[in-house]
Amino acid sequence: MKSMPQHLEPVNGRYVQMDDVEWADFPEALSEGGITWKLLNVSPEMGAWTAYYKCPKGSSFAPHVHIGPGEYFLTKGRMHVRGGTGEGGETAVAPGYGYEACNAKHVQTYFEEDSEFYMTFLGPLNFIDEDGKTVALVTWKDVQDAWEAATSR
């Protein structure tokens, strides 16, 4: 127990030279078709993180709900986001920007050509089964753990 607010220092800036970071395999339990990624940042206080994804033609992410807003910048290719706020979802074509709102449910995210995107996330991804039950709740810490496990091999 501590009765006075602690003195806290400002957070340091960080820089990542992206080509110096190797691609890691994205967990197969949460995707199909050989998606690879680079973790760029985690923000432990807010629970945010940032990553870059490379998605081959035909690959996809498993169904998930965004718990907190996420923003993507599709730099290459074409991404189908099914089950967004509307009924039929969205098709993003590079260069494209998307704001995925807090509680957006994506029953499938599918890439019909080789694609790449950068994405910032505030809060976790809730991967779900057909009944909407949580299969994996992926927070910034799980993301960092997965990254470190993949890159320490």
**Alpha-carbon distance 17 to 20, whole Å?**
6
Please answer whether residues 31 and 59 qualify as being in contact, where contact means their C-beta atoms are separated by less than 8 angstroms.
Answer: yes
Q: Is 29 in the site for a second copy (CB under 8 A)?
A: no
Give the residue with the Cβ less far from a second copy, 33 or 83.
Answer: 83
> Minimal distance in Å, beta carbon 118 to a second copy?
5
């509307």: which residue's tokens?
86
Listed ranges 25-33, 54-62, 95-103, 107-115: which one lies at the site for a second copy (CB under 8 A): 95-103
> Minimal distance in Å, beta carbon 77 to a second copy?
14
Contact residue for a second copy among 33, 34, 56, 84 (CB under 8 A): 84
> Minimal distance in Å, beta carbon 146 to a second copy?
12
- Among candidate residues 105, 110, 114, 33, the one with its CA nearest the CA of residue 79: 110
Q: Is 98 in the site for a second copy (CB under 8 A)?
A: yes
- Maximum distance among all Cα pairs of the chain, rounded to whole angstroms: 57
φ, ψ dihedrals at 147, nearest 5°: -65, -45
Question: Cα dihedral angle (7, 8, 9, 13), rounded to 10 degrees?
Answer: 180
Angle 140-141-142 from CA coordinates, rounded to 5°: 95
Q: Is 125 in the site for a second copy (CB under 8 A)?
A: no
| Binding interface with a second copy (CB under 8 A) | 1-21, 39-47, 50, 52, 67-69, 71, 73, 75, 84-85, 90-93, 95-104, 118, 120, 122-124, 126, 133-134, 137, 139-141, 144, 147-148, 151
